[in-house]
Structure 1
Amino acid sequence: MKTSFNFPVAQLAPKQTASAPGAILRPALLGLLLTTSFTGTAAPQPQAAPQTPPVQVTQPDATSLRIRINNPSQEPARIQVVHLDNGTWILNETHSDPAYGTRLKFDNLPSGRYAVVLRVGPDRYRYTVQVESKAPGTTTIAVRETTTHRVESGLATASL
């Protein structure tokens, strides 16, 4: 909004006379009015907090994965681990806590490929873990994220 004030300069300057006690007050009020009208009165906008992904997977050492699930809506959160070479289920858990964390250790598992599948509501995450056991006590894993997506239909959740 454009506003223009066309006051003669003499009207803005205070008159120093003893007969007009409010003469000094009026220009001060006018100045206050002008400064508050040009400065915004809107409250500061709150900044959105950075969104934490629902699932965080890290590898803290050579043989394990750390999984953290942020689930404020407390939808069912499912953690599954399956040995892909023979189809054996290693882990199949469901949690509905607002936050959940666990550490999956692969050091006592036989060599091979494993799938770690995490589902939180409609979100699905899949990781492939290659376990290599060359000698006792020398197990290592290699992790690769293979899928991260939102499942749209109930039929799509039936497949691993």
Structure 2
Amino acid sequence: MKTTFRLPAQIASSVAVAAQKASSFAIGAMILLGAGMAQPAQAQTQATEPVQMTQPDAQSLRVRINNPAQQKASMQVIDLNTNQTLLNETYRTPAYGTRLQFNGLPAGRYAVLCRVGANRYRYTVDVAAPQAGATSIAVRETTTRRVETGLATAAL
């Protein structure tokens, strides 16, 4: 068995080197942490939105609804040309997702209505068929109504 002994001067110099390395590591960690904290704020904001809509291709929409409180939630798709309801779903699950395919529908305007508790979201979908068999859609959010719950007080 080999044992090494260090003199007090060697211990002091190794402690100084270790402190210098720790200091540079701490500075590097703060820089990385600061750079990392600047980006997730946007992702965190998006993740807290109850309704998220993405368009994975030219003919469909992906709808994700986050409902951790399991409030009453619903989604409707309405043909705005005829006012006919094409889809009407109600549920109370903590999370729900679906892919809406618009390629089988005639050209025109459609509304996707989502409700989570008292909050309402409305998206207008314009379906165009530039060629027979080819469908493309354009989506825009037309209305978002969020109801903030809180305690109201009045003083006379």
TM-score higher than 0.5? yes
**Cα deviation digits, residues 72-99 of structure 1 (max 9, x gap):** 1101110000000111111010011101
SS in 2 for 1:109: coil
Counterpart-to-counterpart distance in 2, 1:67 and 1:87: 21
Greater Rg by CA = 1
Aligned residue number for residue 33 of structure 1:
none
Deviation at 1:151, TM superposition (A): 4.9
**Cα deviation digits, residues 98-135 of structure 1 (max 9, x gap):** 01100000000000000000000011100000001133
Which of 116, 121, 124 is 1:125 aligned to? 121
SS in 1 for 2:114: strand
SS in 2 for 1:144: strand
Aligned residue number for residue 78 of structure 1:
74
Aligned residue number for residue 83 of structure 2:
87
The AA in structure 2 aligned to 1:75 is Q
Percent sequence identity over aligned pairs: 62
Aligned residue number for residue 103 of structure 2:
107
Counterpart-to-counterpart distance in 1, 2:121 and 2:67: 14
The answer to whether 1:69 aligns with 2:69 is: no
Aligned residue number for residue 58 of structure 1:
54
The AA in structure 2 aligned to 1:87 is N
SS in 2 for 1:134: strand
Counterpart-to-counterpart distance in 2, 1:109 and 1:122: 30
Unaligned runs of 5+ in 1: 1-48, 153-160
Which structure has more helix as a fraction of its residues? 2
Indicate how the Cα distance of structure 1 residues 115 and 99 shifts in structure 2: closer, same or farther if over 3 A, else same.
Answer: same
Aligned residue number for residue 96 of structure 1:
92
Unaligned runs of 5+ in 2: 1-40, 149-156
